[in-house]
Chains A and B, each alone.
Chain A
């Protein structure tokens, strides 16, 4: 959280509640004070500026509703959240009418309370919008670490700055491994929706039969195996940002469904007739030529224009080689922290080798290469020898002829797993798929550590 810290006062006669809430909210980075009765609360409010008050509705000797009235009349800018051990609709309605921000029944759902406070913080930020914009952008870029000084990357940063404060749909294009998700994250963290969820959907990884239930969610009993009701991705992204990665892989049916959701801004879970309003910003990404796909009638034109209101193109690494030294320095620093190895950088010869390579897998390939070299390096600097696995640029990947696509996939997965000594997390990272997908594929192909 940047800038002024949000100050919260908890008013409750029970010590255990005051302590628990204080500890828990402090972990979120807020400044938290407590008061055990109304007198202490007003003494405190008279001395210090407070943003949010959590107020117990039943305290000995005084009615919380009376305290609420007094707070709202003296300090109208304070957001008050009422708390109670026993839910009573009448009291809740009265509290809300008197200006309480919300009404909670103990024990609280941790996610709900945290989101509630973030929502208040976000509204307060909105009021100070202009002052916060630059600060927020800097903080967002620090979070995702987009590294580079080249003209190409500077253009990307400028675009993020331009588009983040707006609510328009963004289409990020670029080859695989260029960092499209990082750009999407930077836009989200610099936007007004940053306290709300960023939901990532990898359209290419969704199995055909599961796409609908994953995106729309379902009610209990909607189909065989639906033991519980489940929120879909659209609903989970409500208030925040939906990042649709590999958008070019969407099936024609899902293209129609997505377009409908974007136009109508409402969804229904599978097995339910009830419509739910959804409000999210859409950022999508692809390494395919969507315009060409539109011409070939493989991608809906209306959906394309809805997604591509603002386009950010990330250049491949071979077109911004001047960023390689900075990227290498960044990865070495990151690995040094993670692996606890005292390596300071790469030798000039090794850097030369990296500069001469064409990096078809872009920044992700560079990151993996530096990681592999870092692991085997013995000295203070990573040498050309440590990068020997890269071979020569002319080396070709030797693919036996007559293989089916799944046979090829099996061979490749096995090879990567062997290289990673069957560390599934590491292999999943190299293959750029999630761990669960890798486990499923290992099961499908009968691959296990011998």
Chain B
């Protein structure tokens, strides 16, 4: 079986996030997993209107909604928005990210991926690996993948940073097979 690469693209949109967060190794891995070209772009967007002063967090669903209604994207292309702010959805205390299941958009926050958040010494390698896993996870949802029971699969739900650290950057074989059907 030969895997065909798609003409469709994946945009990684950085909102107030330095380009150095996404290195060439991450781009290559993302491109291999989703078999698409990865394009990094900067988004000049103020997140203030999505801020909830009571929770001191930013409403991820509203940010996604803003992109869905205000940005045009070619059908089949995907966009992953990366922000530094802490995200929430109304029913949960926080989220690492959120995705539009089977849609075009997803969002990832880097806020809780840094060791500094846990009062530990920052480590760039660990941070980048976590960021890559969260991007793959949320993009996986946009391709229709749901949470996987296997705690080593990237589609396993992360409730804590330890969950993220335990899992691989790759989908398990079952999730890869599901991905094959839609790629």
Contacts and interface: CB of A to CB of B under 8 A. Distances in A.
Contacts of A198: 151
Contacts of A340: 3, 5, 31-32, 35
A189 interface: yes
A296 B1 CA distance: 54
Interface stretch (A22-30, A254-262, A365-373, A392-400): A22-30
A120 interface: no
A142 interface: yes
B116 to A, nearest CB: 15
B119 A227 contact: yes
A336 B91 contact: no
Interface residues of A, number: 45
A114 B176 CA distance: 23
B32 A338 contact: yes
Interface string A236-251: 0000000000000000
B150 A145 contact: no
A166 interface: no
Interface residues of B, number: 43
- Classify the secondary structure of A's interface with B: helix
B150 A189 contact: yes
Interface in B1-60: 1-3, 5, 29, 31-33, 35, 55
A342 B3 contact: yes
Nearest to B160: A111
B91 A107 contact: yes
Given A111-B159, A194-B149, A338 B91 contact: no
Nearest to B173: A145
A110 B93 contact: yes
Given A23-B101, A143-B174, A109 B61 contact: no
Contact of B61 (A19, A106, A338): A19
Interface of A: 1, 14, 16-17, 19-21, 23-24, 26-29, 106-111, 113-114, 142-145, 185, 189, 194-195, 197-198, 227, 333-334, 336-340, 342, 344, 424-425, 435, 439
Given A106-B90, A338-B33, 13 more contacts: A1-B149, A16-B90, A17-B91, A21-B91, A23-B89, A106-B91, A110-B92, A110-B159, A113-B92, A143-B149, A227-B119, A337-B170, A435-B125
Q: 6 tightest CB-CB pairs across the interface, nearest first?
A: A340-B32, A111-B159, A29-B146, A20-B89, A110-B92, A20-B91
